[in-house]
Structure 1
Amino acid sequence: MYYTCLEPKHQRKIRGMKTSNSTSTTQGLIAYILATLFLLYEMAIQSSPSIMAAPIMQELHLNAAIFGTAMGVYFYSYTLMQIPAGLLFDRVSIRLLLMLAIGLCILGNLLFATTHEALWLGVARIIIGMGSAFSFIAVLVIADHWFPSRRFALLVGIAQLVAAIGAMCGELPLSFLLNHTGWRHACTILAGIGVLLALGVFIVIRDQRSKIPISSQARVSTSLLTIIRNPQTLWVGFYAFTSWAPIALFAELWGVPYLMDRFHVSNVIASTCTAMIWLALALASPYLGWYSNRIGKRCSLLQWNSIIGLVCSTLILLITPQSVIINAILLLGIGIAGAGQILTFAVVKDINDPQHLATAIGFNNMAVVVGGAIFQPLVGLLLQWHATHHGSGITSIYSLEDYTFALTAIPFCYIGGWLVSRYKIQETDCM
């Protein structure tokens, strides 16, 4: 799912990663499980607004533009914290950073559960985004510190799978909780789960690592300047942006209210449908990476992913099949298309010098997340604009036509991705 700033192997040697007096394998496994549980927890929180959209907008009398903006600011803080999080993990205790990150998520959820104003909803999401930025890198650091290098790729793959499962947990299981307790109590319960995670981290995780010298911090700005001068890195980042933006705006926020309005179904059924996106993403991502290496091609697969996304999103929004089951099947295609962002990281590795790879991966990850930062509020603005010009005013109730108009941004994302992968991104032949 999300990647973050990893330092190249020649820098890792500075840290003295695996020593003979390292913590036992059992303790390392428990630490890895705790970190992946935090990743699952973070992804559940990240995608939870999609099932809370209707009750929050109705209770707080918010329109789609305001709600979308309040939820979308999560991605700004998440994005801005990517490289700082990587630097901190080089210098500060894993246990301390994990507890701090989980603590921010707890604080954000409690604020979210108790607020009555859109401004504080946004502040809560900013705080959650800051804490969430540490989740994926924590898994990688623990895998790197406690396990043999040959298992690193497998552990990262498991983390991607867990991230998708977490997103599904933020929709389907949480929808049952929401129906029984309400959105405020649901957020409070999420905060309580965070307390248990933080307690587990405090008890279990111990790390004693050598830190990278502070002078190496200057290399980050140098690497960033180097990669942004490479047009291929920028085009790959643009493709990553177009492949993940539909996931962020449909699966994480607007998909559930759209499906509820279109098929007149409960949030449980609607969230089950959007969970198909995460299911396909979880299964397609590792397979796509394996198949790309097998055939020695990247660009052709990127093009096909965009085509699949374009066809499925067009059928959903413009052809409008009447069966909710058919829509659920088509949403699998959206998930498969989203898996294309996994390949963008492989291309980044192919085209960048190893000494700049860490910053290149961080830059590409920011391009992925910016899709949500831009399109979640944009769709809210489009919803409100269309509703206002059709007599709906500022109410929080939108018609199917309003949703269809706003969500047509999705096919345009895939068109942009196909054009870039077809005419701008050069084939690397997995070299």
Structure 2
Amino acid sequence: MSKNTMSTKHQTQTRYCTCLEPKHRRKIRDMKTSNPTITTQGIIAYVLATLFLLYEMAIQSSPSIMAAPIMQELHLNAAIFGTAMGVYFYSYTLMQIPAGLLFDRVSIRLLLMLAIGLCISGNLLFATTHEALWLGVARVIIGMGSAFSFIAVLVIADHWFPSRRFALLVGIAQLVAAIGAMSGELPLSFLLNHAGWRHACTILAGIGVLLALSVLLAIRDQRSKIPVTAQAQVSTSLLTIIRNPQTLWVGFYAFTSWAPIALFAELWGVPYLMDRFHVSNVIASTCTAMIWLALALASPYLGWYSNRIGKRCSLLQWNSIIGLICSTLILFITPQSLIINAVLLLGIGVAGAGQILTFAIVKDINDPQHLATAIGFNNMAVVVGGAIFQPLVGLLLQWHATHHSAGITSIYNLEDYTFALTAIPFCYIGGWLVSRYKIQETDCI
């Protein structure tokens, strides 16, 4: 058969696949691209990528542990230090789509080593600098490398595992990330107390070297055998994703499901609980940790249960309803028991676990050639939720406080927090509307 005939046949099959119902297109994709059996190589690759995700979470949370000694040694105020650390999230967000594009075209092993190498370089620069500017540069470099971590786990789950395992594997990855958010500070505190912040960063870099060597020796990426002619162009990948309304609606749901986590668990939850119940930051932090606990436990279960019942959209709707009910009770019904609030915070964590299903839907509805790019786009939507709503709630908090006090203030009362955090129930309302009326069911097939 001639090359032209084969090319025409391939194009015809591709056009045919994109016109089928999602479940039929998924079956064809599985026959062409998915490994029907779980191999040792796939397990090793997934474990190493998950360890990189855990490593990234430790690096991400490290400034909160090292803030005091760094500010004292380098004579930095909170504003300068916060700005230098915050640039991490901007580079992380901006690198999501480029990382996805690269994973669609370049060897997984090579990209993992490059990403870990960036994290190593950033940690070494962070450990040796004496100026705030270079602290910021180091965090930018670390953010660029960290941007590959979650996408790598999902790409490996798609490449080395059967499609029916994808949602579960995404949930396990979210479990690891949540564990890192909950407990990553403990070993870092130990390092800081026994070695100082500079040596702690150097040790983190050394751990990265060991991880990079493990990736080099253990991962054998079969995708390197794919001919370059079969790879989609960058512009084609982006246009295909942007022109797919389902990808955009799924990204919007991911945005609305994670924004409450970023608002309450990562930033404003502790001061809100301290003001409302007059408790210490330790007790308030323990309560907000309930969100991460529920998120960690619910994520893999939700992925498994979604595949078992063959539905995703109905679960997305229920997650939004749970989040709406729990957030409304916390903010407006005002139960006076801290224990009851901790239980309700578990519901917020369960609601946040719904974002892992958005990645499964992204896999269901996108062509395998553009999958990593689509995952990067969706992960960017997740991160942007916090990037937008965290400062927005801060502005609302400040506006409400100055409005009733007729002056600039940094002291907020319960009414200020309640007004600003009203954004959380509205996020869940938006998520429910989108999952109910816009996102189409893929049947998990």
TM-score (ref. length: structure 2):
0.73
Q: Please say which of residues 131-140 and 303-312 is displaced more in the overlay.
A: 131-140
CA–CA separation in structure 1 for the residues paired with 2:339 and 2:142: 34
Alpha carbons of 1:230 and 1:158: their partners in 2 closer, same or farther (altered >3 Å)? closer
Q: Contact between 1:5 and 1:86, CA under 8 Å: does it hold in 2?
A: no
1:417, distance to aligned residue in structure 2 (A):
1.0
Which is greater in Rg? 2
Task: State whether residues 72 and 373 of structure 1, in contact with CA within 8 Å, keep that contact through their aligned partners in structure 2.
Answer: no
Measured after TM superposition, the shift of residue 310 of structure 1 is: 1.5
From the superposition, tell whether residues 53 and 273 of structure 1 become closer, same or farther in structure 2 (CA, over 3 Å): farther
How much does 1:84 deviate? Answer: 2.9
Q: Report whether the alignment pairs 1:44 with 2:58.
A: yes
Shift in Å, 1:205: 5.4
Kept in 1, the 8 Å contact 2:287–2:342? The answer is yes
What is the CA-CA distance between 1:346 and the residue it aligns to? 3.3
Distance 1:419 1:93, change over 3 A: closer
Report the alpha carbon displacement of residue 130 of structure 1 after superposing the two structures with TM: 0.8
Can you give the 5+ residue segments of structure 1 that lack an aligned partner in the other structure?
A: none
8 Å contact from structure 1 (residues 51, 257) kept in 2: no
Structure 1 residues 61-108: Cα deviation after superposition (integer angstroms, max 9, x where no partner): 999998877665434322332343344446656555334323433444
Number of residue pairs matched?
Answer: 430
Cα distance in 1 for partners of 2:19, 2:117 equals 22
1:18-55 CA distance string (max 9 Å, x none):
99999997787555433322111212333556778899
Q: Is the 8 A contact 1:72 1:374 kept in 2?
A: no
Q: Structure 1 residue 241: deviation in Å?
A: 0.8
Q: Does 1:213 align with 2:242?
A: no
**After superposition, what is the alpha-carbon deviation per residue over 1:187-235, rounded to whole angstroms, capped at 9, x for unaligned?**
6664554455445546655668635444555434223323322333322
Task: Please give the root-mean-square deviation of Cα atoms over the aligned residues, in Å.
Answer: 5.7
Q: Is the 8 A contact 1:5 1:358 kept in 2?
A: no
Q: CA deviation at 1:309?
A: 0.8
Structure 1 residue 274, shift from structure 2 partner: 2.5
Bigger drift between 389-398 and 353-362 goes to 389-398
77-86 or 28-37, which deviates more: 28-37
CA, structure 1 residues 39+17, in 2 after alignment: closer, same or farther (shift >3 Å)? farther
The answer on whether the counterparts of 2:323 and 2:425 sit within 8 Å (CA) in structure 1 is yes
Mean Cα displacement is larger for which, 196-205 or 403-412? 196-205
SS at match of 2:231: helix
Question: Which residue is 2:167 aligned to?
Answer: 153
Q: Find the aligned partners of 1:412 and 1:60 in 2 and give their Cα distance.
A: 42
Shift of 1:252: 2.9
Do 2:107 and 2:221's aligned partners in 1 also have CA atoms closer than 8 Å?
yes
Residues 238 and 417 of structure 1 are in contact (CA less than 8 Å); yes or no, is this contact kept in structure 2?
yes
Contact 1:95 1:201 in 2 (8 A): yes
How far has the Cα of 1:311 moved from its partner? 1.8
* Pairwise CA distance, 1:386: 4.4
How far off is 1:157 after superposition? 4.7
* 3-state SS of 2:439 partner: coil
Cα displacement string for residues 240-279 of structure 1 (whole angstroms, at most 9, x for unaligned residues): 1100111223223333444455445555443332322222
Deviation for aligned residue 1:305: 0.9
Contact 1:228 1:234 in 2 (8 A): yes
Alpha-carbon distance between aligned partners in 1 of 2:75 and 2:402, rounded to the nearest angstrom = 15
Q: Quick one: percent identity of the two aligned structures?
A: 93
C-alpha spacing 1:197/1:8, structure 2 compared with 1 (3 Å): farther
| Maintained 8 Å contact 1:15/1:210 | no
**Whole-Å separation in 1 of the counterparts to 2:152 and 2:253:** 26
The answer to whether structure 1 residue 386 and structure 2 residue 372 are counterparts is: no
The CA deviation at 1:341 is 1.3
In structure 2, do the counterparts of structure 1 residues 50 and 301 end up closer, same or farther at CA, with 3 Å as the change threshold? farther
2:259 equivalent to 1:245: yes
Greater relative contact order (Cα 8 A, min sep 6): structure 1 or 2? 1
Q: What's the CA shift string for 1:170-190, capped at 9, x where partnerless?
A: 356657777999988866664
